[in-house]
Structure 1
Amino acid sequence: MSQAPRNAQRMPPEPSQKHLLIIEDDKGSRQLVLDEPVYSIGRDLDCDIRLASLFVSRRHATLVRVSMGDGDYTYRIVDGDLDGQRSANGLLINGKQLQSHDLQNEDKVVFGPRVQFTYFYLSRDPAPTEPPDGIFDDVTLINPRTADKSRPLDSLEIPLSRPPRQLNLIRRRVQSLLGFLNLNREERLRFRSERSQ
């Protein structure tokens, strides 16, 4: 068995989840990836997430990481700061006035007029990114010259024994090939008509 060199550094695995905020305020729109356990939100210069609006309190809200078990977590938004001081306008979360809420994918939090963020929870698929060997064993490419002219190329059937993800990949590749074949057929017809003139 071969051993890895002692001084070889291992890259840490990428996290299987990503927490993202799309923030909109008086300065425009921006995105922020959440990775810290606590964030203060407000218009104060010391806040971790600064919101540009006079409708936002200096310390408007707090985001706190909350474990969901199995290594997954989400963020809970709480009105005000960690000392219990609440904001002047409160929080409107998905259209409801709430003091705290465990954020879920695509939750919208409004702090005031034209000041809000949308939370996104992105889970990374631990499956390999490359298709497994033999994914195209059941696909037969047809030469257009020898194909049955009574059956259109668009009616190619794909066996349903594959998982949906693999089927989608196969369908996209077949559609790409069909598009290429149709393009070549149109070019050949155009070339023939130009030669005959």
Structure 2
Amino acid sequence: MPLEPSQKHLLIIEDDKGNRQLILDKPVYSIGRDVDCDIRLASLFVSRRHATLVQVASAQGGYSYRIIDGDLDGQRSANGLLVNDKKIQSHDLQNEDEVVFGPQVKFTYYCLSRDPAPTEPPDGTFDDVTLINPRTADKSYTTDSLDALEIPLSKPPRQFNLVGKRGQSLLKFLNFRRERGITLQK
């Protein structure tokens, strides 16, 4: 069963009150300075009913938003809209579009989509998996090859007995000396 990607529509708004974010989920939003607007912008450069956001179906099966200058009755704003530095009357918003309403008043639109994680693995995914006990795993290292030492993560590192190695070297030296008849002078 194919999973539909989930979308989240987000506005990062900057105005005289500072920065804030708003998640869009309603079909229509009024934008402006009026107290009755769904998205209220704090600036004298913004009209009372400056713009409208309308949810529109997208070709990928989800939806996006269209911004329209003014209200749905056709009344335009005094200063208009700039979308990505171009004056427009209507625009289908794309990810990271920047809409400017006036000096220091703007928002950036984000359409975030992701494929939801499946809750269970597809059929047959784990049919050929063999579980291995870490204690019986292949020991692919020796104490002689310290340069390419690979230690399995499931086991603690081996502690090498340096005193034992030195003792073995000393015994080899003493045996060598005895075989050759070499004596040490005091």
The verdict on a shared fold, with TM-score over 0.5 as the criterion, is yes
Question: In structure 1, what residue type is equivalent to 2:101?
Answer: F
Whichever of the two has the greater Rg, that structure is 2
1:124, distance to aligned residue in structure 2 (A): 2.1
Structure 2 unaligned blocks of 5 or more: 131-138, 158-186
- Whichever structure has more helix as a proportion of its residues is 1
1:68, distance to aligned residue in structure 2 (A): 1.0
Q: Partner residue of 1:38? A: 28
Matched residues, number: 144
> 2:17 pairs with 16, 27, 32, which one?
27
Structure 1 residues 15 and 27: CA distance shift in structure 2, 3 A? farther
> 1:107 pairs with 88, 92, 97, which one?
97
Q: Partner residue of 1:88? A: 78
Q: Distance in 2 between matches of 1:23 and 1:108?
A: 10
- Alignment RMSD, CA only? 3.7
Q: Distance in 2 between matches of 1:115 and 1:152?
A: 61
SS of 2:64's equivalent in the other structure is strand
1:126, distance to aligned residue in structure 2 (A): 3.0
Structure 1 unaligned blocks of 5 or more: 1-12, 138-142, 154-176, 178-183, 185-197
> 1:62 pairs with 43, 46, 52, which one?
52
Q: How does 1:132-147 map to 2 (within 5 A)?
A: none
| TM-score normalised to structure 1 length | 0.60
Structure 1 residues 130 and 106: CA distance shift in structure 2, 3 A? farther
Bigger CA drift: 43-52 or 121-130? 121-130
8 Å CA contact 2:5, 2:116 repeated in 1: no
Q: Partner residue of 1:97? A: 87
Q: Partner residue of 1:194? A: none
Q: Distance in 1 between matches of 2:110 and 2:149?
A: 43
Q: Partner residue of 1:163? A: none
Q: List, as ranges, runs of 4+ consecutive aligned residues in structure 1 with deviation greater than 2 Å.
A: 126-134, 145-153
Identity of aligned residues (%): 73
Q: Distance in 2 between matches of 1:27 and 1:113?
A: 13
SS of 1:89's equivalent in the other structure is coil
Q: Distance in 2 between matches of 1:85 and 1:51?
A: 18
Q: Partner residue of 2:68? A: 78
SS of 2:55's equivalent in the other structure is strand
Q: Partner residue of 1:6? A: none
Structure 1 residues 102 and 152: CA distance shift in structure 2, 3 A? farther
Q: Distance in 2 between matches of 1:50 and 1:78?
A: 16
